[in-house]
């Protein structure tokens, strides 16, 4: 506890000031909060304290080039937590050292939104195992150098949570932990400025609770009751729940729906200043109790709303944030074969402080929302509603020339705000190629898939694979046969991991083998070259021209160039988002060597060849990493 008290002395003044300002000088609540922190610090095991010390000494360990993550559902990947543990050999083989398991806490079947309606924050869902199984998984992950990430659903509880049950029975103390109203007058005022999260599947932000005879705030779904963080008891107890998970060995806490946790009438109830105070307090709580823990903020919004959640250098908030805009812009580029929007977005990311660490991904458990920079696109005559329709039509295969296969989620024809679902492989056209038994289409889809992963691994930050993408897992349409899932098209990319298909990863002529070996090879190269460190300089490489080798000129802006430099080593990376080969002119006069391209992944002997980048050929859906080491002369 000596270490705790020393850390507390460093943070006490700020913690006290933030807490008492937010909670109107409630010193009793603050005293309870501090005693709770001491209690959980005292309960932390010797093994986890050693883990904390190791991580603290390493400092910015998560900012290097060796982090490689995977996102998976425990039941889909291993059926149970014990099953996940039995497959850690596969995870290590893949090179993964950051494992994010989707929600595993107790939640009611059929009313859980995929586990995001938690009925008990301190119990693992029984069908997945026990708290002891979670602790064992974490311990074995640590032995293998793997950090474990879990979701912490902080905005709401399930309507089956103990607090909600007592609130429904009329207990005023527990009703004060939510937003209850005697009639619809105040809720109707909230609705004037609060956007809807799911306008088609769960319209409105309030639900009538007949047992209590009152209206309750339910921003996401009627069975998810929003917590009232204006009540310090809520903050104290939810922070305690988070620290309880940390003491079971969880290394990264994903703060779900972070922007929504503070509500004020007359506002959008998103990204309010008090949210940042709460996140900063949670960061301090972790620094005091479990300093080896990272906070990952889930802020699925435009960049100007995302970046503030890093906080400042002096007073940081989240360690990690999702790079959601790059993900959406990447798929936009796949459909349009025009890199200008993606280039503009990357330019903004590259200009941010290098201390900021993003999680980069192609696909995840959720849908793809088209929250693009439409003012930027407007200069090219792009209309927002029409463009969203084009993108959704393209990725459903409704556009001539598209081989993609996806489905809509939460379609709103009036606003054109439908989102998109599908696995990476199916969106790349591999599903179509296999269904039509068309080898050329399969190979084209595989090339696109590999190029996108090469792009992912080029970016600074932590690349995250969605489980199954490493073997090109296709859409799973069986969800339509499950009455509990059929209304939610996101289950199309939430299918069971195909372990039989995974056996083909050793056969390099198969779809699984080509993708697995390519991704694994690229990840090894990334880990071996410090030029991929988060501290590297990054920039956009100007492309003078990108002409179709066959003479066409349908997509003159299809090639993206990215430069990286670190400690005397430079990499220039190029990506062709068009299926046609391009003759690329850059104006580069120096000679480089091939670090990786599609051919070298198949024949490693081609790696290291000298190339001139003044003008070179980039195959359709091709990529290349070219390297120059100035230290070697």
Q: Annotated active-site positions, please?
A: 256, 298
What 3-state DSSP class applies to 353?
coil
Cα atoms found within 13 Å of the Cα of residue 338, Cβ hemisphere only: 9
421 DSSP β-pair partners: 407
Q: Which residues fall within 8 angstroms of residue 424, CB to CB, at 6 or more apart?
A: 362, 363, 449, 452, 466, 469, 472
Residue 416: other Cβ atoms inside 10 A: 17
Quick check: 346 and 562 in contact, CB under 8 A?
yes
Q: In angstroms, rounded to a whole number, what is the distance separating the alpha carbons of residues 88 and 449?
A: 25
Of 150, 145, 149, 152, the residue nearest 91 (C-alpha): 145
540 DSSP β-pair partners: 562
Q: In angstroms, rounded to a whole number, what is the distance separating the alpha carbons of residues 532 and 345?
A: 20
Q: In angstroms, rounded to a whole number, what is the distance separating the alpha carbons of residues 262 and 136?
A: 35
Quick check: 559 and 594 in contact, CB under 8 A?
no
* Tokens found for residue 318: 């989240």
Quick check: 578 and 603 in contact, CB under 8 A?
no
Separation of first and last alpha carbons in the chain: 53
Of 355, 288, 277, 350, the residue nearest 321 (C-alpha): 355
What 3-state DSSP class applies to 466?
strand
What 3-state DSSP class applies to 214?
strand
Q: In angstroms, rounded to a whole number, what is the distance separating the alpha carbons of residues 548 and 531?
A: 31
Q: In angstroms, rounded to a whole number, what is the distance separating the alpha carbons of residues 595 and 490?
A: 37
Q: How many residues does the chain have?
A: 633
Cα Rg of the chain (Å, integer): 25
- Nearest-5° Cα angle at 524, 523 to 525: 90
- In sign, the C-alpha dihedral spanning 594, 595, 598, 602 is positive
Burial letters for 437-459: b for 16+ Cβ neighbours within 10 Å, e otherwise?
eeeebbebbbbbbbbbbbbbbbb
Residue 258: C-alpha distances to residues 121, 221, 233, 413, 532 (Å):
17, 16, 18, 28, 29
Q: In angstroms, rounded to a whole number, what is the distance separating the alpha carbons of residues 367 and 350?
A: 26
Cα atoms found within 13 Å of the Cα of residue 156, Cβ hemisphere only: 27
* Tokens found for residue 319: 């360690």
What 3-state DSSP class applies to 480?
helix
């Amino acid at each position: 506890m000596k270490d705790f008290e020393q850390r507390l002395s460093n943070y006490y003044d700020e913690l006290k000031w933030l807490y008492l300002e937010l909670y109107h000088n409630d010193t009793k609540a603050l005293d309870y909060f501090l005693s709770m922190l001491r209690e959980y610090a005292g309960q932390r095991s010797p093994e986890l304290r050693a883990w904390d010390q190791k991580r603290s000494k390493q400092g910015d360990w998560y900012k290097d080039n060796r982090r490689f993550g995977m996102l998976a559902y425990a039941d889909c990947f291993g059926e149970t937590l014990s099953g996940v543990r039995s497959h850690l050999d596969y995870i290590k083989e893949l090179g993964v050292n950051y494992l994010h398991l989707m929600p595993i806490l107790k939640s009611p079947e059929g009313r859980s939104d995929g586990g995001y309606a938690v009925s008990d924050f301190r119990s693992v869902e029984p069908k997945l195992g026990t708290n002891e199984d979670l602790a064992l998984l974490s311990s074995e992950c640590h032995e293998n150098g793997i950090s474990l990430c879990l979701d912490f659903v902080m905005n709401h509880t399930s309507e089956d949570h103990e607090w909600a049950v007592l609130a429904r029975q009329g207990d005023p103390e527990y009703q004060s932990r939510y937003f209850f109203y005697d009639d619809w007058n105040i809720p109707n005022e909230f609705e004037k400025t609060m956007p809807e999260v799911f306008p088609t599947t769960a319209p409105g932000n309030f639900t009538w609770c007949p047992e209590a005879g009152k209206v309750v705030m339910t921003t996401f779904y009627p069975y998810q009751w929003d917590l009232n963080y204006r009540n310090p008891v809520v903050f104290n107890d939810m922070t305690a729940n988070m620290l309880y998970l940390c003491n079971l060995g969880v290394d990264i806490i994903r703060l779900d729906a972070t922007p929504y946790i503070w509500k004020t009438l007359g506002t959008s109830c998103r990204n309010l200043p008090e949210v940042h105070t709460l996140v900063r307090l949670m960061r301090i709580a972790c620094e005091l109790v479990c300093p080896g823990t990272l906070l990952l903020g889930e802020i699925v919004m435009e960049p100007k709303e995302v970046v503030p959640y890093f906080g400042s250098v002096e007073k940081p908030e989240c360690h990690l944030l999702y790079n959601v805009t790059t993900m959406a812009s990447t798929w936009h580029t796949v459909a349009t074969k025009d890199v200008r929007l993606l280039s503009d977005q990357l330019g903004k990311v590259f200009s941010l402080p290098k201390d900021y660490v993003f999680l980069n991904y192609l696909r995840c458990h959720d849908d793809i929302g088209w929250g693009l920079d439409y003012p930027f696109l407007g200069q090219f005559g792009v209309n927002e509603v029409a463009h969203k329709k084009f993108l959704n039509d393209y990725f459903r295969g409704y556009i001539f020339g598209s081989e993609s296969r996806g489905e809509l989620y939460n379609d709103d024809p009036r606003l054109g705000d439908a989102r998109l679902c599908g696995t990476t492989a199916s969106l790349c056209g591999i599903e179509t190629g296999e269904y039509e038994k068309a080898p050329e289409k399969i190979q084209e889809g595989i090339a696109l898939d590999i190029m996108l992963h090469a792009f992912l691994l080029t970016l600074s930050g932590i690349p995250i694979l969605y489980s199954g993408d490493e073997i090109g897992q296709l859409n799973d349409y069986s969800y339509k046969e499950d009455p509990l899932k059929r209304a939610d098209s996101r289950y199309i990319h939430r299918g069971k991991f195909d372990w039989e298909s995974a056996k083909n990863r050793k056969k390099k002529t198969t779809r699984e083998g080509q993708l697995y070996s390519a991704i694994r090879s690229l990840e090894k190269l990334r880990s071996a070259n410090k030029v991929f460190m988060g501290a590297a300089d990054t920039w956009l490489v100007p492309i003078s021209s990108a002409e179709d080798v066959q003479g066409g000129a349908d997509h003159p802006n299809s090639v993206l160039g990215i430069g990286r430099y670190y400690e005397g080593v430079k990499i220039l990376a190029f990506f062709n988002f068009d299926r046609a080969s391009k003759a690329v002119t850059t104006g580069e006069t120096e000679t480089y060597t091939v670090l990786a391209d599609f051919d070298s992944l198949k024949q490693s002997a081609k790696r290291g060849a000298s190339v001139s980048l003044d003008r070179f050929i980039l195959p359709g859906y091709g990529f290349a990493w070219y390297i120059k080491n100035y230290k070697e002369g």
